[in-house]
């Protein structure tokens, strides 16, 4: 009888042999002992499961084997459970995480070795699952665990070495060419094995327990507007050693807070607005610390928070900067990146002397190639509650790898050690320093600028393009249902006009009048809040931002007008009888989005008529 490894094998760093290393597991995966045939489901996306159904492969009663890389693992678990799977196995294919071949993996490089098995949460709803929408304080009402939105099937990570053993014995139809990986075998769909009597026995012994987690909050009070908060944050927990995630970011925040404290002690300097340093607890278990804190202080934060700047990890590579942001922060990030010296001497020798230069050169925006790519902020880190629930503009930045892999290869594995960072990723910690400097420069810009440096024109342009994209892509099918996009288009135009008019107000503003300055800054802060729908997105009451929310099919990535796009996707995939109620949902949400766009325009024009 073959058995998979229950722990990852020590390879290099002394701490990898620690007796404290836990067994491989996925947080919130259900305990259970199940047996069944195996089905290979590629990345476990909606399209992948649809392909299997069309190919006649029945998921019900099977154990699904899926790859990390294109969907959040909780989304994969949800899909497998909905299809009737008994359990789920997750692995990282070397095609995605070790593309240079078996001789160029850790400890010889940062690529994933065969024994690695990334851990991670499988809970789809963020925060404490027992206190939805309310803070998990001592007095909170808690729902029974069996009602919590966590998987009801066992979920287990395995290494690609173990995945090879399973896939090499799987039969059934050969998987499509695009589903093949780099395990030097032909991948089959299953569910049968080469030996008819073989099956997979998946035993998971997870147990859930309620415990206390802590956030650490430090404040440098502002000298003029202490009730306006520029927030910086990083989480404090990790699955294993976490030298990259989160400790590279933790080191950056500790250094930044030390510098600001030293500056205050030596000169008495305080920023115009308060700087708030946030060390979050239990991020890895589904953003628990930050979401619960946001729920607890939602009223204060909604009225007072200027922006939140997140560094989940300072580095996951040394190729170029990778930044996700609310559109209003785009230009401020660009300006700060232009001020930070390039940590890469080869890039400096090529004439690219700043972080911005390499970012624009190595990762240009595909639509505007003269600018670096700024990704829309999604979920997956501690900005979720602030950005998507109460409308505080957020940013997350780090140095990243090139595009040869789908993610940081050592992410959540045993091998994410200090040696990996010090000997492979960042000798001399130059890239850590660059991210720290960028983080600090942006924080000071937001805290010190008399007028908040929000790029409303970029936001208006983003909304206009996204609106036109929906019209061009889906306009014909929408109009066939007698649903008009006219008001939606008009609302996008109205917001654009309001931004232009507001610019004229700013240009003529008496900046020596503190009440006038406060008034326009309040308007700038209210723009992001204007896109918050208290009812939430269709079928997703835990996401309220109608512009920047991630798609329900992948919680990691941001999608413009996700509520509209996801509903249209559901309509396309629905049976004829199920389409009608979905069209009603679409029309209702379209009206809501139109309303919130007009609300944002009215916030800038500052009138009630």
Between 430-448 and 247-267, two packed helices, what is the crossing angle to 10 degrees? 50
247 catalytic? Reply is no
Cβ burial of 550 (10 Å; 0-12, 13-18, 19+) is: buried
Instruction: Give the pairing of strands 305-310 and 225-235.
Output: parallel
- How far apart CA 142 and CA 130 sit, in angstroms, is 5
- How far apart CA 301 and CA 295 sit, in angstroms, is 9
Q: Which residues contact 163 (CB under 8 A, 6 or more apart)?
A: 65, 89, 91, 93, 183
For 580, phi and psi rounded to 5 degrees?
-60, -50
Set 71, 545, 566, 589: catalytic member? 545
Residue pointed to by tokens 């308060």: 274
- The H or E element containing residue 458 is helix 456-479
Set 283, 316, 542, 566: catalytic member? 283
Nearest residue to 264 (alpha-carbon basis) of 300, 223, 294, 297: 223
- How far apart CA 599 and CA 495 sit, in angstroms, is 9
- For residue 395, list its beta bridge partners: 309, 325
- How far apart CA 76 and CA 503 sit, in angstroms, is 45
Is 407 in contact with 97 (CB distance < 8 Å)? yes
Set 169, 522, 605, 606: catalytic member? 522
- Helix segments in 228-364, DSSP class H: 247-267, 288-296, 298-304, 330-339, 345-349, 355-362
Compute CA distances 384 → 153, 242, 440, whole Å: 26, 21, 21
Q: Which residues contact 191 (CB under 8 A, 6 or more apart)?
A: 36, 37, 38, 39, 57, 58, 62, 172
- How far apart CA 348 and CA 340 sit, in angstroms, is 12
Q: What length does the chain have?
A: 609
Q: Which residues contact 523 (CB under 8 A, 6 or more apart)?
A: 502, 603, 604, 606
108 catalytic? Reply is no
- How far apart CA 563 and CA 539 sit, in angstroms, is 9
199 catalytic? Reply is no
Q: Which residues contact 606 (CB under 8 A, 6 or more apart)?
A: 519, 523
Is 61 in contact with 86 (CB distance < 8 Å)? yes
Cβ burial of 301 (10 Å; 0-12, 13-18, 19+) is: buried
Q: Is the peptide bond before 448 cis (omega within 30 degrees of 0)?
A: no
Number of H helices, E strands in the chain: 18, 15
- How far apart CA 379 and CA 397 sit, in angstroms, is 13
283 catalytic? Reply is yes
Instruction: Give the pairing of strands 375-376 and 320-325.
Output: parallel
Set 17, 18, 479, 484: catalytic member? 484
Residue 234: CB atoms within 10 Å:
28
Residues belonging to the active site: 283, 484, 522, 545
């Amino acid at each position: 009888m073959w058995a998979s490894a229950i722990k990852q094998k020590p390879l290099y760093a002394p701490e990898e042999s620690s007796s404290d290393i836990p067994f491989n597991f996925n947080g919130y995966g259900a305990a259970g002992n199940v047996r069944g045939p195996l089905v290979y489901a590629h990345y476990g996306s909606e399209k992948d499961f649809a392909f299997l159904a069309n190919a006649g492969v029945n998921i019900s009663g099977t154990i699904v084997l899926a790859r990390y890389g294109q969907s959040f693992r909780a989304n994969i678990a949800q899909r497998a459970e909905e299809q009737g799977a008994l359990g789920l196995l997750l692995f990282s294919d070397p095609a995605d995480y070790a593309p240079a071949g078996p001789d160029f993996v850790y400890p010889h490089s940062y690529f994933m070795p065969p024994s690695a098995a990334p851990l991670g949460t499988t809970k789809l709803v963020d925060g404490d699952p027992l206190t939805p929408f309310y803070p998990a304080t001592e007095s909170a009402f808690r729902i029974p665990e069996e009602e919590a939105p966590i998987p009801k099937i066992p979920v287990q990570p395995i290494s690609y070495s173990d995945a090879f053993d399973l896939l090499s014995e799987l039969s059934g139809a050969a998987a499509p060419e695009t589903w093949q990986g780099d395990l030097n075998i032909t991948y089959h769909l299953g569910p049968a094995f080469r030996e008819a009597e073989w099956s997979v026995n998946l035993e998971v012994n997870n147990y859930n327990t309620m415990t206390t987690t802590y956030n650490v909050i430090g404040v440098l009070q502002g000298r003029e507007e202490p009730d306006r908060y520029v927030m910086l944050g990083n989480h404090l927990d990790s699955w294993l050693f976490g030298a990259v995630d989160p400790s590279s970011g933790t080191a950056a925040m500790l250094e930044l807070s030390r510098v600001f404290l030293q500056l205050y002690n030596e000169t008495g300097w305080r920023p115009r607005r308060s700087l708030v340093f946030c060390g979050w607890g239990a991020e890895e278990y589904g953003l628990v610390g930050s979401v619960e804190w946001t729920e607890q202080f939602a009223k204060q934060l909604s009225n007072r928070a200027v922006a939140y700047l997140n560094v989940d990890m300072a580095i996951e590579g040394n190729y170029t900067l990778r930044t996700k942001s609310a559109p209003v922060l785009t230009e401020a990030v660009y300006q700060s990146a232009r001020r930070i010296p390039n940590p890469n001497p080869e890039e400096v020798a090529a004439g690219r002397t700043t972080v911005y230069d390499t970012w624009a050169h190595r990762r240009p925006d595909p639509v505007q190639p003269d600018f670096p790519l700024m990704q829309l902020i999604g979920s997956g880190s501690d900005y979720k509650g602030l950005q998507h629930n109460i409308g505080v503009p957020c940013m997350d930045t780090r140095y990243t790898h090139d595009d040869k892999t789908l993610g940081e290869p050592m992410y959540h594995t045993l091998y994410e050690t200090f040696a990996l960072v010090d000997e492979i990723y960042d000798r001399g910690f130059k890239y850590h320093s660059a991210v720290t400097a960028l983080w600090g420069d942006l924080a000071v810009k937001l805290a010190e600028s008399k007028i908040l440096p929000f790029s409303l024109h970029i936001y208006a342009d983003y909304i206009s393009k996204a609106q036109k994209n929906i019209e061009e892509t889906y306009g014909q099918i929408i109009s066939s249902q007698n649903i008009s996009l006219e008001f939606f288009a008009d609302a996008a135009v109205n917001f654009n006009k309001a931004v232009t008019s507001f610019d004229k107000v700013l240009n003529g503003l008496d900046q020596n009048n503190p009440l006038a300055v406060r008034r326009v800054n309040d308007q700038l802060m209210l723009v992001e809040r204007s896109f918050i729908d208290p009812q939430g997105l269709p079928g997703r009451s835990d996401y309220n931002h109608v512009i920047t929310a991630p798609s329900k099919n992948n919680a990691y990535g941001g999608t413009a007008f996700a509520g509209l796009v996801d509903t249209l996707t559901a309509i396309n995939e629905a049976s004829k009888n199920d389409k009608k109620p979905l069209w009603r949902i679409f029309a209702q949400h379209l009206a809501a989005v139109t309303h919130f766009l007009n609300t944002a325009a009215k916030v800038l024009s500052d009138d009630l008529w």
